[in-house]
Structure formats: structure tokens, C-alpha cells
Structure 1
Amino acid sequence: MGSFGRRIRAFALATVLGGGPAGLAHAESPPRLSPARTAAEAGLVDIRTLAPDIAEDIKYAGSDNFVGTPVDGYLAPKCLLLRPAAEALARVERDLRAEHRRLRLFDCYRPARAVAHFVRWASDLADQRTKAAHYPQLDKRALLGDYIAPVSGHSRGATVDLTLLQCDAHDRHCTPLDMGTGFDYFGTLANTDSPQATAAQHANRALLRAAMEREGFRNYAMEWWHYTLVSEPSPSVIYDVPVE
């Protein structure tokens, strides 16, 4: 195993894995870094092979994210997931369309190298470019540990960050529902049941949660956008293949 893999294991041993905006894992034991080098070897599939026109805004493939630059490992704006998670997500999208609603995806599988990029960014206190949009009420020094940790549940291939769109009666025009914050907002307003959210925002979050729970996804309470398939295919394995 190379030095990167050793660092991942060392970080994991020192951290109880949770689920902050960097998407920490939920397992308590150290994950195993898969030797897979490609998405195919890892068993990851593109969601658009199952839901061809699902709406995507893959934030870490561009600069519109809390890091402010494209993130390591994102070579294309794609949503990759292990097949059981992809199939369940496609069912959510199918069911929502009967209600004139749709999903918009922000992030899916996340390479381990991307999480390492997050940790480097969090350690660079001089870089405050995204503070106003992503952590306006927090000192950046509070992000590392509380919000960003070196191992991510997204790297297991069964977690997705997303929001809900409401479409018109003809399904031609769809707009995002008001959830109270943007994606990857570091603060308590992003908590799914935050008392700071309005009644309408709570109702919109509840619509998303109900749709996801029907197909076996569980919400992470600190982030209204974050869902993990309860029956994860590989809960003790993380991957570092690029998204391409």
C-alpha cells in the first residue's frame, strides 16, 4: 500500500467517522481502501445509464463549491454509485415524476483523494474565498474535525447529496424548492430539522426525505441534502478511483 493508503488508515483509526459537509462515513471501524483503479473495477455505474435525463449539478467537478476550485479526482461532472444505490436512486426519480417533481444531484461517489483535498483546504486558513457562501458564521478553524474529516461515507459509493425540483403541469420547467440553505452550507440551519428553518422549508425537506426513505435511503440529520442507502453494498470499503 502506498503512502496515501497508509494515511487514510491512520486517519480512520484516529477518527470516529460521522457525516459532516465533507460527507464523513457512519462506520465505527477503519475502512479498507479498495485496490480498484477504475469505476468498472469498483462496480460503480453512471446514474444516467439508469435515469438518462436526471438533473445533475456535480459541484466538485467545477469551482462552485466550498473549496472554490475543481476537486481532486473529479475529471468529469458525473454521478457514480454502486449499482444497488444507483438502482434505488433511479426508482426515487421515477416515483417523483408521477408527482411532477424531480431530483437534482450535487454529489454521489467521492474519491478518497477528493476528501484529502478537503482536508488540505480546511488547513489553509489563509484561503477564505468561500466563507460568505459556505461558512459565514463560523471560523474556518472550526471546520476541520467538526465538519470535515479525512474519511468520507461518499467514498463507499452509496451516498448521494441532492435536492428536489418542482415542475409545472407539463414537466417542461422545473425549479428548486426552497430548502433554507444552499448545498454544503456549514452551520446549524442546514440541519434537517433545524428550528431556524421556516415552515415551508421544513415541508420541502420533508418531501425530499419521504421520497428517499421510500426507496431505502436514510438522511444524515446535520445535512438536509445527504442520504445514504441503508443496505450499503460495501460499508467497510472506500474507493479512490477517479470520476471520469
Structure 2
Amino acid sequence: MVKCVSSFLLFSLLSVQAMSAENHIDLHQPKDFVDITTVAPDVQVDMRYFSSHNFIGRPIKGYNAPVCLLTRPAANAVKQVADRLRPFGLTLKIYDCYRPQSAVNDFIAWAKDPSQNQMKNEFYPQVEKNRLFEEGYLAARSGHSRGSTLDLTIVPLDSKIPIYDPGRPLVNCTASAAQRSPDNSLDFGTGFDCFSPLSHPDNVILTAQQRANRLLLQTLMRDAGFTPLDTE
């Protein structure tokens, strides 16, 4: 689903120098970054790397609070999208925003350890973990560290984020929405952080509704100044 929608990078911030890595996103946020809920209170935040429901299966280093930090221009652009969705009873849900380098380093160390593959059946069932960087699903230098890249989806405005059940059997992220781990997202064809070609924006193996959902999000995000990443 393009990371259950997509990773989007704000056009206008591409030339901004990357922020220095931070180890704490709750108390020591980078200068000029804001909590998205202070700008767009309707937007839901489901910071997966603060939880154990992600491709590694545990909280990621550097994510010490379930807070979405973005640069002010990026946060304002997200608000524009949320404002356009609200009349239709919809809003955005964000899975990841600013990512400290310590988290990226955690990803790199994990990828080098073949013994850590407990989440493979859900997040990367058809890709060997030692190829995740080579195939572009992970990056040693993440655009998220600039605070202008985010992973997000569209959800009903009045919906609740499901509580993750770690005891639930893992289901392939490319399975149907009814079979996958519960999520309040509209159906984009795959789950969040689904390391599969089916997550790519140009995936044609989709239902008409899934294509419509992807097009809606991509159109709104582009209009606000973002561009989707071609591997998500």
C-alpha cells in the first residue's frame, strides 16, 4: 500500500539541510519541529516504531514517545490535506514522521542479524531481510531525518486505532484487509510497512476501490506539495 498508503516527502523542503540525529523525540525535539497534533488535531497518530507492531517486532531505538514530529511547513501541509478530507468524514493517520539516526542505525544492525526474523511472515514474507536495503525498502540515510517525510494513510474521521494483539498469528501484509492485522485504514491493498512490490505506487494488481483510495491520497498529498516515494 505504499507503506499502507505511502511515504511522502515535502517538495519545498528537499533542499533543507538534514537535521542532526536526536535520541529523544519526546523531550529533545529538533529545532523548529512541531507535534502534528498541535497543528492538525484531527489527524490520528499511530507511531508504529514506538510499539512492537512493526517489521522488527519491538520498539525502535530513538522512539521514546508516540509523538509525530515534523517541520512547521510539513505540518501545515498535512493540515491542508486533513482539512480537505474532513467534509467527507475522513482524516489522515500517520505511522511515522521524524526518524532519528539512532533508529536508522537500529534498522541497519537488525538487518545484519539473521536470527531476528520473527515478523517476516507479516512484513517481508517474500523478501530476504538481507536484501531490504538493496531493494530500496530501507535506507541507511533516511529522508525521515529531515522531518519532511512521513508514512500515512486515510481513515474514517470517527474511527479508533485498533489495539495491537501480539499473540495474534502473523498474516501476510499482502492478504486482504479482512485477513490482515486489524487497522482502521481505508483499503490500499497492503498493510503498513509491507516490503513487497505490491506496495509500489504503480502496482496494478488492485481492486478499483484500492486504486481509487491510492489516487485520492496521492492527489491530495501532491496538491499540498508532497511527492510519493516510488518504492512505497
TM-score (norm 2): 0.77
- Following superposition of structure 1 onto structure 2, how do residues 130-149 of structure 1 map, counting pairs within 5 Å? 130-146=119-135, 147-149=137-139
Question: 1:34 is matched with which residue?
Answer: 20
Whole-Å Cα distance in 1 between the matches of residues 199 and 77 of structure 2? Answer: 24
- CA distance 1:183–1:20, change in 2 (3 Å): closer
SS in 1 for 2:88: coil
Code of the residue aligned with 2:205 in structure 1: it is Q
Q: Which residue, 35, 40, 49 being the options, matches 1:60?
A: 49
CA contact (8 A) 1:66 1:134 kept: yes
Q: Is the 8 A contact 2:19 2:146 kept in 1?
A: no
Aligned pairs for 1:44-55 within 5 A: 44-55=33-44
Structure 1 residues 73, 203: closer, same or farther in 2, change over 3 A? same
Return closer, same or farther for 1:35/1:99 CA change in 2, 3 Å cut-off.
closer
2:187 counterpart of 1:198? no
Higher relative contact order (CA 8 A, sep 6+): 2
Q: Which residue of 1 aligns with 2:90?
A: 101
Secondary structure of the structure 2 residue equivalent to 1:45: strand
Instruction: Give the 3 Å change call, closer, same or farther, for CA 36–189 of structure 1 in structure 2.
Output: closer
Conservation of the 8 A alpha-carbon contact between 1:193 and 1:202: no
Corresponding residue number in structure 1 for 2:148: 158
- Cα distance in 1, alignment partners of residues 96 and 197 from structure 2: 21
Which of 1 and 2 has greater Rg?
A: 1
Q: C-alpha root-mean-square deviation of aligned residues, in Å? A: 2.9
2:56 is paired with a residue of what secondary structure?
Answer: coil
Q: Partners in 2 of 1:153 and 1:145 — Cα distance? A: 16
Cα deviations by residue, 1:76-101 (Å, 9 ceiling, x for unpaired): 00110010001111111111101221
**TM-score normalised by the chain length of structure 1:** 0.73
Name structure 1 gaps, 5 residues minimum: 1-18, 224-244
Bigger helix share: 1
Once residues 124 and 36 of structure 1 are traced to their aligned partners in structure 2, the CA distance between those partners, rounded to angstroms, is 24
Deviation readout 1:131-150 (Å, 9 max, x if unpaired): 01101111222113222221
User: In structure 1, what is the equivalent of residue 229 of structure 2?
Assistant: 220
May I ask how many residue pairs the two structures share in their alignment? 198
Counterparts of residues 80-91 of structure 1 (less than 5 Å): 80-91=69-80
Counterpart contact for 2:22–2:62, Cα < 8 Å: no
Note if 1:70 corresponds to 2:59.
yes
Aligned to 1:186, what secondary structure does the other structure show? coil
Whether the 8 Å CA contact 2:123–2:195 is kept in 1: the answer is yes
1:177 touches 1:204 (CA, 8 Å); kept in 2? yes
Structure 2: unaligned runs, 5 residues or longer:
161-183
Closer/same/farther in 2, CA of residues 134 and 85 from structure 1, 3 Å limit = same
Q: Structure 1 173/73 Cα, relative in aligned 2: closer, same or farther at 3 Å?
A: closer
